[in-house]
Amino acid sequence: MNPSAYIGRFAPSPTGPLHFGSLVCALASFLDARHHQGQWLVRIEDIDPPREIPGATNTILKQLESHGLFWDGDLLYQSQRSDAYNAALAQLHRDGLSYSCNCNRQRVAALGGIYDGHCRQHQVGSDSAIRLRLPETERDSTITFEDLIVGAYPQNLCSEVGDFIIRRRDRLFSYQLAVAVDDQFQHISHIIRGSDLLDSTPRQLYLQGCLGASAEQTAAMQYGHLPLAVNGEGQKLSKQNHAPALIPGEESSNLWLALEWLQQAPPVELRSENSATILSWAISNWSLAKIPNCAEIPAPNSV
C-alpha cells in the first residue's frame, strides 16, 4: 500500500468524556492507520449544540493523548465548517436534489421511519427541514459496499430509508451531510468505526456521489464496522446509557483490555508496560481479520 493513500480518522462528538466503547473505536482506527503507515486524523463533530457538554472536547483530546493516541495534522471542528455545508446544500438545490419538508416526527414515525416523499413538490425554504431526493428506480437507489469486517452490505435507500434529512428544521446540519462533506474535504480513505453506523454508510456514499465524487472514488472508500461494546444488560456503552468515563492513570490497562476485546491476543505481560510499548506491539501485530463479524461483544467487567 502507498502510505500516502491511507487517511483514517476518529470523529468523536463532545457529548461527554471517552468511555471504553469509544476508546475501542479510537484505538482500532489508530492502529489500522499506523499499521499501514497512513495518517490518522481527529475530527470533532460539534454540530449539535443541544447535546454537547462544555469542556468535553478538551477532555476527549487529553484522554487520547494520555493513551498515546496522537493524531496527525490539525484538528477539524465541524462547528467551523458552516460555509462548506451551506455550499453543499446550495449545490444539491441547484441540481434539483433537495426539497423542504414540513412533516413532523409523528407522521414519519407512523410511516415506520421510511419517508414517503410527501413534500417532494415543495421548494427549499428557510424554516423547514431539507431532505435529499433519492432516485426513483431500485437499481439506482441500491448501494452495496464490501465492509472490511462485516462483508458485503447492500441497502436500498428508497425502500429502507426514504428521502433523508440533510438540514434539520432548527437549521442545524445533519450528521449525514456534514460527514459526507468532511470525508471528501479531508480525503478520507479508510473509516473504522462502530457497527451502529453501518446502515448510515450507504447514505454517506450516495451523498458523496451527489456532491461530485466519482463512482471510482466512492468504490475506493474502505469501511470497517466494529462490533458494539455492551454492558451487562446488553446495552451499547454510550453516554446515554451512563457508560463510565475512562479512569485517569489506568491507560495501560485500558489499552490492553481494548486490544483483548478486539481479539488481538495481547501477551499478558504487556499489560504492565507503558502506553508507548503497548501501542508499538499493537501496531506491529494489528489484524482486522481477527475481529469477529458479530453485532456486539460484552465489555470487560472492570470498565
> Where do runs of H (alpha helix) occur along the chain?
20-35, 56-66, 82-94, 105-110, 138-141, 157-160, 175-185, 201-210, 215-220, 251-261, 275-285
Maximum CA pair distance of the chain? 65
Is 13 marked as binding a ligand? yes
Is 239 marked as binding a ligand? yes
Is 210 marked as binding a ligand? no
Is 175 marked as binding a ligand? yes
Between CA 118 and CA 232 the distance in angstroms is 42
Between CA 42 and CA 30 the distance in angstroms is 10
What cell does 102 get?
A: 414540513
Is 9 marked as binding a ligand? yes
- What is the distance, to the nearest Å, from the Cα of residue 241 to the centroid of all Cα atoms in its chain? 19
Is 115 marked as binding a ligand? yes
Is 300 marked as binding a ligand? no
Between CA 213 and CA 291 the distance in angstroms is 30
Which residues on adjacent β-strands are paired with residue 226? 194
Is 62 marked as binding a ligand? no
Is 14 marked as binding a ligand? no
Task: Indicate the annotated binding residues for L-glutamate.
Answer: 9-13, 45, 175, 193
Task: Indicate the annotated binding residues for Zn(2+).
Answer: 101, 103, 115, 119
Task: Indicate the annotated binding residues for ATP.
Answer: 239
Task: Indicate the annotated binding residues.
Answer: 9-13, 45, 101, 103, 115, 119, 175, 193, 239
